[in-house]
Structure 1
Amino acid sequence: MMCFDAATKEVKPVKDFRSVADTVAAEIASGRLGPGQRLPPQREFARLHAIADSTASRVYQELARRGLTVGHVGRGTFVAAAPGAPVPAPALSEPAAHRVDLELNHPVVPEQAGLLAAGLEKLVRPDDLESVLRPVGPTGTPAAREAAADLLARGGGRPDPERVLFAGNGRQAISAVVAALTRPGARLGVEEYTYPVLKAIAARLGVTLVPLAMDEDGLIPEAVEEAHRAEPLHAVYVQPVLHNPLSLTMPARRLDQLADVLLTSGIHAIEDAVWAFLRDDLPSLSSRAPEHTVLVDSLSKRLSPGLSLGFAVAPAALEGRVTAAVRSGGWTPMRFPLEAMVRWQEDGVVATLVRAKQREAGARQAIAQRHLGDFRTRSDPSSYHLWWELPAPWRSDTFVAAAARHSIAVTPAAAFAAGRPRGPHAIRLGLASPTREVLSQTLAALAGLARSAPDDFAGD
């Protein structure tokens, strides 16, 4: 096929995308393009090979179809591991095109599906299904409130069932409580490293986050007082147990100090207890300052992400505001997960799965210690996440990009920073989602990567 080049007044052959793909494939096979090497952006590739942008796009599609490259949105296209090609860091046993996600964190244990299925069988009987599918509001049902109070009990304390409210999931429960306690332009105090979803919720509601200093025991109460004196805080969001991402847990003394600050200042706290089921022997902040704390939690981490349900335990003075926020946000729950939760709680399924997931967390922490024990990490034997301060000269952004070349997704410290990113170059690893075998292979790959020298592709 030929075409007329207006610039040179010459008739030139048109390159077929397959032939260009063959050329790149030959470079990969010969080792001139090594595993993990980044291909140029498609427009630059088109100029280098004197082809149209559309042809370059088809070349990249063809290379991906052959399994020779892997594309990552926002990062580029990289050479996949080729047979016989040298690998600069330990490779995963599964193909590079299969992404290993250490960002999301959904604990799963082998017995989970069977235990949950047994409880659901009762719900799908014709005589029960009609009632299960009826609408329900934020207050749920009396049976659901009692079951939720039992499920949320820990450290010898049990919430008042009359104070339990429900939302569609944990994120919606947080959104509703933030909306109830603040207004656009309000100041919400948060730990200096905080849950990334909260940052998005605050931005959507027009709320300003105020980063508060932390130490080895978690949020520093004096930091709350100092920020409140400078300009009043409307509320404080805190994760007292197995803080995400640092896995810190507040000791009883710190809980008492923070409760005193809430009582003397009149500030309300939003206590995120989503990971607290892994340390259910510990008391809650809401048990220390019940009239100044709204506890939020969810069903998904305990049981399964496929059946979500959010909880908000609000003091009587705030119940109406939280209920109104759930309704106005369109965050009312479905009745089905409420009824399922009641049965699973009554049948002992919740307690069985909680114990299994507590044991599984310990096993995964042992795997992490085996591969990353020589590095600076922070975690807890009961936690499903791990904070890793990267060795120099690695930076968070370059390491995240380099990990992506091995089809591993990790989260940089900046995603958790409430203010301007600062402090160590670190990443958070979620240990829950892969199988144990894949987790071990993945952490071995990351350890090998950390021991190698950074390349310069991330700055392109």
Structure 2
Amino acid sequence: MEDYRRIADRIAEDIAAGRLRPGERLPPQRVFARRRGIAGSTAGRVYGELVRRGLVVGEVGRGTFVRAAPLPSGRALAEPATTAPVNLELNYPSAPGQSELLAPALAPLLRPDVLAESLRTAPATGTAAAREAAAGLLATPGWRPAPSRLTFAGNARQAIAAALASLVRPGGRVGIESLTYPLVKEIANRLGVTLVPLPMDAEGLRPEAVTAAHRSTPLSAVYVQPTLHNPTSVTMGEARRHQLAAIARELDIPLVEDRIWSFLHEGPLDPLAAYAPERTYVVDGLSKRVAPGLTVGFLVAPEGRVEQVAAALRSGAWTASRFALEAAVRWIADGTVEHLVRAKRADAAHRQHLVAEHLRGYTVHSDPHGYYAWWELPYPWRADTFAAAAAERGMAITPGSAFTVPVLGTRAEDCVRLGLASTAPPELAQALRTLAGIARTRP
């Protein structure tokens, strides 16, 4: 019997060569199996492999479609990439003069004596200076992590992976918002973890949904984005945070809190760790605040759990480099990070003004301080066909199905996420005008 991966390779070649175009629908699996002379179960594995590679997207009740901008294979802990001229998938903000701001702190690290020290390996717990600097950076009005609880990863994605690896055995269940950061699905797949989608409302994850899921079959942990949720931009209020923390304590469930975008929120709310410090793992990082190329991921563990987290970081080869730690300490200490945060808050607000101007009249969910927008497309557009139409005009956008957990069948086929950070404002304005024009036509 032919290996399913070889069949997937040939489909991938057809997509790469343009013989299968973005938005084109693949035949139903039973038809595909009959045409190829293979078993239905093998066809299912072929389609699953194509989804894993990011080449196709399956929509419940509609079928499987070629994705507008395929994800590169083998990059489970990295952001998707695309060669489209206008990239509204990637979302890395950059402030004017950013390189000039970052360079002075790096200069001392290039002295031979300092460089020799900086090129040594660093433990998962970093250095004393890094722990103190990170604790100060992450502090909110009602919460400041103890430096002794800090561990460090190469980036925030790796910190998420380490937190889940330290908490959940293969085959375990993790509660997660029904719309979520796509790469968490890849992380869970690599760890052999089952994601359990939980309903959301206008304030994000519903606490009673955690209770219902846990009582059905126990959850090992819950992953949640309470501040500037990606992709919807929803932020939980203080009362909801209290409720979720109380439910987690009552059910004895650990929380993995992703705060990677929280620095943009004006008057930052305290993390869930302020309400349930004994069970909350806080994930954050420098990639959005500073730059993706030289970054550090932060992972604050509950008291008594630091060594388990450190062991997961080591086993996954996810620890931060000492050079990156040294650079981060200097950027935090000299005010560079604070300066960049202020600049990026203003930049995000400006880009949201462009969204409000050019997508006026459409149903768009976003936050005035966020770097993305969740667009409910007008009928009869579907996400993948809209993304394909955008791709034909040189724009890469992310279909809503990329953010769903497949077993739930959440209806996101009519939505797309627009990442606003990686395209210069003039090009972003033009792209938004073009997208609005596409939306006014019929597919």
Tell whether the structures are fold-level matches, with TM greater than 0.5: yes
Alignment of 1:294-333 (within 5 A): 294-333=281-320
Tell me whether 1:453 sits opposite 2:415 in the alignment. Answer: no
Q: Look up the match of 2:30.
A: none
Partner deviation per Cα, 1:47-79 (whole Å, 9 max, x = no partner) = xxxxxxxxxxxxxxxxxxxxxxxxxx88699xx
Question: Are 1:172 and 2:158 an aligned pair?
Answer: yes
* Pair 1:426-2:412 in alignment: no
Matching of residue 206 in structure 1 with residue 192 in structure 2: yes
1:442 to 431, 434, 439: 431
Aligned counterparts of 1:98 and 1:194: Cα–Cα separation in 2: 24
- Asked whether the equivalents of residues 212 and 219 of structure 1 are also in contact (C-alpha less than 8 Å), the reply is yes
Runs of 4+ in 1 over 4 A off after TM superposition: 38-42, 73-77
Amino acid in the other structure paired with 2:410: R
- 1:133 paired with 2:119, answer yes
> 1:400 aligns to what SS in structure 2?
helix
- The question of whether the paired residues in 2 share the 8 Å contact of 1:41 and 1:76 is answered with no
CA distance in 1, matches of 2:177, 2:369: 21
Q: Aligned equivalents of 1:326 and 1:247: distance in 2?
A: 29
Residue aligning to 2:364:
377
- Cα distance in 1 for partners of 2:143, 2:104 equals 29
* Counterparts of 1:148 and 1:40, CA distance in 2: 50
Match of 1:138, SS state, is coil
With over 3 angstroms needed to count, the CA separation of the structure-2 counterparts of 1:376 and 1:137, relative to structure 1, is same
- Once the two structures are TM-superposed, the CA of residue 153 in structure 1 deviates from its matched residue by 1.2
Cα distance in 2 for partners of 1:452, 1:329 equals 48
Output one character per residue of 1:294-351: Cα deviation in whole Å (capped at 9) or x when no partner.
0011111000011121110001232121111001111111001100111111101111
The residue number in structure 1 matching 2:183 is 197
Q: Distance in 2 between matches of 1:119 and 1:444?
A: 40
Are residues 258 and 41 of structure 1, via their aligned partners in 2, closer, same or farther at CA, if it must alter by over 3 Å?
Answer: closer
Q: How many equivalent pairs are there?
A: 368
Structure 2 residue 268 is matched with structure 1 residue 281: yes
Deviations 1:91-120 (A, max 9, x none): xxxxxx852111110010102111101111
Deviation at 1:163, TM superposition (A): 0.2
| Alignment-mate amino acid for residue 382 of structure 1 | H
The residue that corresponds to 2:39 in the other structure is none
Alpha-carbon separation, structure 2, partners of 1:383 and 1:291:
30
- Whichever of the two has the greater Rg, that structure is 1
1:251 to 237, 247, 261: 237
Partner of 2:398: 411
Cα distance, 1:40 vs. partner? 6.3
Q: Which amino acid aligns with 1:445?
A: T
Contact 2:262 2:268 in 1 (8 A): no
Letter in 1 for 2:133: A
Mapped to 1, the partners of 2:165 and 2:18 lie a distance apart of 46
CA distance in 2, matches of 1:406, 1:192: 31
- DSSP-derived class of the 2:309 partner: helix
Normalised by the length of structure 1, the TM-score is: 0.78
Tell me the secondary structure at the aligned position of residue 271 of structure 1: strand
**How far is the alpha carbon of 1:126 from its aligned partner?**
2.1
| Distance (Å, rounded) in 2 between the aligned partners of 1:225 and 1:426 | 28
Q: Read off the aligned partner of 1:346 and give its amino acid letter.
A: A
List per-residue Cα deviations over 1:155-190 (Å, max 9, x = no partner).
Answer: 342111110000111111111111001011100000
Name the amino acid aligned to 1:422: T
Contact 1:189 1:210 in 2 (8 A): yes
**TM-fit CA distance, 1:423:** 2.1
2:26 match? none
Conservation of the 8 A alpha-carbon contact between 1:39 and 1:76: no
Give 1:66-145 correspondences, 5 Å limit: 99-145=85-131
Residues 183 and 76 of structure 1: CA distance in aligned 2, closer, same or farther (over 3 Å): closer
Rounded Cα–Cα distance in structure 2 between residues aligned with 1:41 and 1:224: 41
The whole-number CA distance in structure 1 between the counterparts of 2:301 and 2:147 is 10
What residue number does 1:228 align with? 214
Name the CA distance, whole Å, in 1 between partners of 2:426 and 2:87.
14
Residues 133, 333 of structure 2: 8 Å contact kept = yes
Confirm or deny: 8 A CA contact 1:259 1:289 kept in the other structure.
Answer: yes
CA drift of 1:151 comes to 1.2
Q: Which amino acid letter does the alignment assign opposite residue 254 of structure 1?
A: R
Instruction: Please say if residues 101 and 433 of structure 1, whose CA atoms lie closer than 8 Å, have aligned partners that are also in contact.
Output: yes
Give the drift of 1:421. 3.5
Equivalent residue letter for 2:279: H
| CA distance in structure 1 between the partners assigned to 2:201 and 2:20 by the alignment | 44
TM-score (norm 2): 0.80
Q: Give the partner amino acid of 1:441.
A: Q
Partner SS state of residue 239, structure 2: helix
CA offsets, 1:260-297, max 9 Å, x none? Answer: 00111100000000001112521111111000100011
Structure 2 unpaired stretches of 5+:
1-16, 22-54, 57-65, 69-82
Q: For the residues of structure 2 that align with 1:157 and 1:40, how far apart are their CA atoms?
A: 55
**Which residue is 1:216 aligned to?**
202
Counterpart AA for 1:442: A
User: Equivalent residue for 1:157?
Assistant: 143
Q: 1:409, 1:293 → 2: CA distance?
A: 35
